[in-house]
Chains A and B, each alone.
Chain A
Amino acid sequence: MTFEEFAAARLPAVLRFAGVLTGDRALAEDVVQEALIRASQRWQTIERLERPEAYVRKMIVNEFLSWRRRSWRTVPGGTGGDLGEPPTPDHAADYAERDAITAELAKLPKRQRAVLVLRYYQGLSDPEIAAVLGCRPGTVRGYATRALAALRVEMAEPSRQPAGLREERI
């Protein structure tokens, strides 16, 4: 698969992932742009990988984490008012709750946010997330615990491992 073919086939999904990861269209654009420039330069290596898309997403995660390291708390919470139309009809209370979560997600440390996105949006296991972030699974669990506590999200019992949400696993 050439880089062109990759971009044509997978870029929309990669861009959605970046949008969720960053929560900010402009930042997502910057992050994806930087990652794709590097990916294009290494494409001969990347295309030989079993899952090139997973590698590109990992680059995006790393780029996001490096982007003005730890600017949480300085990021305005946002109201979620620029989220556009939701994908499905919903109730007003649910909108408010979703917007509230979105605003609180923006305040999380980047690494904690990345863990939540990889867990609950990408559906990765903690060991898989650890591989993406370059840390140990126990650390992933620690980040997730802190993030969920900050968001006041209760985890399903008894497993801490969420079911996969997306087919496009890293």
Chain B
Amino acid sequence: MTTGTNGRHEGDLRAAFTALEEQAPDADTVLRAVRERTGRRRGLAWPGGAGQRHQGGQPRPPRALRRPVLLTGVAAVALAAGLTAALVPSGSPAGQPPAAVQIPGLSEGTAEPPITSHSDLPAMSTVSKAMATAFSAADDDVLYTVESGRTHGYVPDAYQDWSWPAQPAAGQREYMRTYYVQTPHGKPGKLLPTEDNGFVYTIPRNDPQLVEARMTMVCYQNFSSGCGYGNTETPAGTWAVYHGKFDNPDAGLDDFSPQSMAQSIAQGDWRIIGRTRLDGQAALELTETSKAKDQYDPKPVRLWINAHSYLPIKMTNGVGTSQPSWNTWSFLTPTPAHLALLRPHIPASFPHSAGSRHGRPD
């Protein structure tokens, strides 16, 4: 096993997992509980047996993926103003309880607008091509995504990400920011900031493991004693800037890249249900088909795209279950106000920290 001062390797991880096998629960204890819960006193419970629980709680869905929301006209202006005002967390004065983070649109969550028309729907091939074109036109925008969910009626956490350019090319300078909030102890409560980090790096021409980057980390005191990223450690209640090699963030290469999204539509993974309006936009509502290789779970899975631009607006899955989740995404024009959102907010009360680095050589 390698020590921390020389960097960790996969073998260290495997060794840790092997050690964790000790956390395996006792088989008799588990089986006894299963028997009791299924109404059987002897043997295990089988299909058709008495005392079956209602098949209510389906497995929770994968946290779905990140997508952009196209905002146009009034909606875009309103959201931009709201973002600037509401998304940036404020530090709490000493002795004051931390302020909750307000995320526009989060309360709507999984609300699904009614279908207004089932006719005059475009062909999926048309949607696929138009979407690819629309993504290209928006590749220099600021991409803003929100990824969240609901469990037993409340929102336990949310990711907000900003990246610019939205679809970077090799050699371009990329700015990325991730702001994560959650409720204390995973229970209902205020969404409080956990960490806010920003990356600046040049998109590499190949796909290296490491890239040279500047990383700013703002670590809040609400949940942990520090925030770790790569080989850095930033004490809670401080901020720090690091220069060096970090794992390649792979900006613009996730599953919901324009290419992969357009491709999944082209190959029949989605079909259009009808027309509707969402967030003030004329929208097409799509659902995942059984052809999709990697199905989202639980169902239903819904995707809304702008009916004019064909850019995606929102995706939900598991609506009707106890733990639905959703993603929204926006393409924001790169105005000074929007570009400012790429910088992590540093509360005035947070001192600068030198942070610490260990392990991996720079």
Contact = CB atoms under 8 A, between A and B. Distances in A.
Interface string A96-118: 01101110110100010000110
B279 interface: no
Chain B's interface size range is 35 or more
Contact of A69 (B14, B157, B296): B157
Residue from B7, B156, B255 with most neighbouring chain A CB atoms (10 Å): B255
Consensus secondary structure, chain B interface = loop
Interface in A36-60: 36-38, 40-45, 58-59
B46 A156 contact: no
B22 A74 contact: no
Interface in A1-43: 2-4, 7, 11-12, 15-16, 18-20, 22-26, 28-29, 32-34, 36-38, 40-43
A154 B44 CA distance: 44
B34 interface: yes
A72 B154 CA distance: 17
B62 to A, nearest CB: 4
Nearest to B207: A160
Interface stretch (B134-142, B166-174, B182-190, B346-354): B182-190
A2 B46 contact: yes
A154 B208 CA distance: 12
Nearest to B48: A44
A63 interface: yes
Interface in B1-16: 1-4, 7-10, 12-16
Interface of A: 2-4, 7, 11-12, 15-16, 18-20, 22-26, 28-29, 32-34, 36-38, 40-45, 58-59, 62-63, 65-66, 68-71, 73-74, 80, 83-87, 90, 93-94, 97-98, 100-102, 104-105, 107, 111, 116-117, 120-121, 130-131, 133-139, 141-142, 145-146, 148-157, 160, 162, 165
Given A152-B231, A160-B209, 10 more contacts: A4-B44, A19-B25, A20-B24, A33-B33, A36-B34, A36-B44, A62-B60, A111-B62, A154-B360, A162-B10
